[in-house]
Amino acid sequence: ILNVEQSPQSLHVQEGDSTNFTCSFPSSNFYALHWYRWETAKSPEALFVMTLNGDEKKKGRISATLNTKEGYSYLYIKGSQPEDSATYLCAFIRNTGNQFYFGTGTSLTVIP
């Protein structure tokens, strides 16, 4: 069984706060790590596709880093806004197949 773990499970922050959460995955057979944002009543939307150790990606106020040697990725949100409220999922892909292994997600609520 391959475990992808995300922490924390849920998070409540005030508008304007910066926050971050973690995705942990196996450090062997790495191919790619994806981040998705899933807003209520919508479908999951891709944020980042990360493939290289040390990768840093940025999209507006959201950024992500990747450490494949130790098996973790961080997602950062700077100056959280209510529209950032969503569940953030990471997915690990091995270099031995096409299966995406998703974590259980971090549910973020930004309080106005």
Partner 1 sequence: ETGVTQSPTHLIKTRGQQVTLRCSSQSGHNTVSWYQQALGQGPQFIFQYYREEENGRGNFPPRFSGLQFPNYSSELNVNALELDDSALYLCASSFRPSASPLHFGNGTRLTVT
Using CB under 8 A as the criterion, which residues of the chain lie in contact with partner 1 when the complex forms?
4, 6, 31-32, 34, 36, 42-46, 49, 51, 89, 91, 93, 97-105
Q: What are the CA-CA distances from residue 57 to residues 12, 83, 112 (Å)?
A: 24, 20, 27
Of 15 and 45, which has the nearer Cβ to partner 1?
Answer: 45
Least Cβ distance, residue 112 to partner 1 (angstroms) = 26
Of 19 and 103, which has the nearer Cβ to partner 1?
Answer: 103
Torsion angle of the four alpha carbons 45, 46, 47, 51, in this order, in degrees rounded to the nearest 10? 170
Of 80 and 103, which has the nearer Cβ to partner 1?
Answer: 103
Least Cβ distance, residue 36 to partner 1 (angstroms) = 8
Going by C-alpha positions, the residue among 33, 29, 31, 18 that lies closest to residue 72 is 33
Least Cβ distance, residue 61 to partner 1 (angstroms) = 20
28: which 2 tokens? 């062997």
Going by C-alpha positions, the residue among 87, 88, 112 that lies closest to residue 17 is 112
Of 14 and 28, which has the nearer Cβ to partner 1?
Answer: 28
> Rounded distance, CA 26 to CA 95, Å?
12
Least Cβ distance, residue 14 to partner 1 (angstroms) = 26
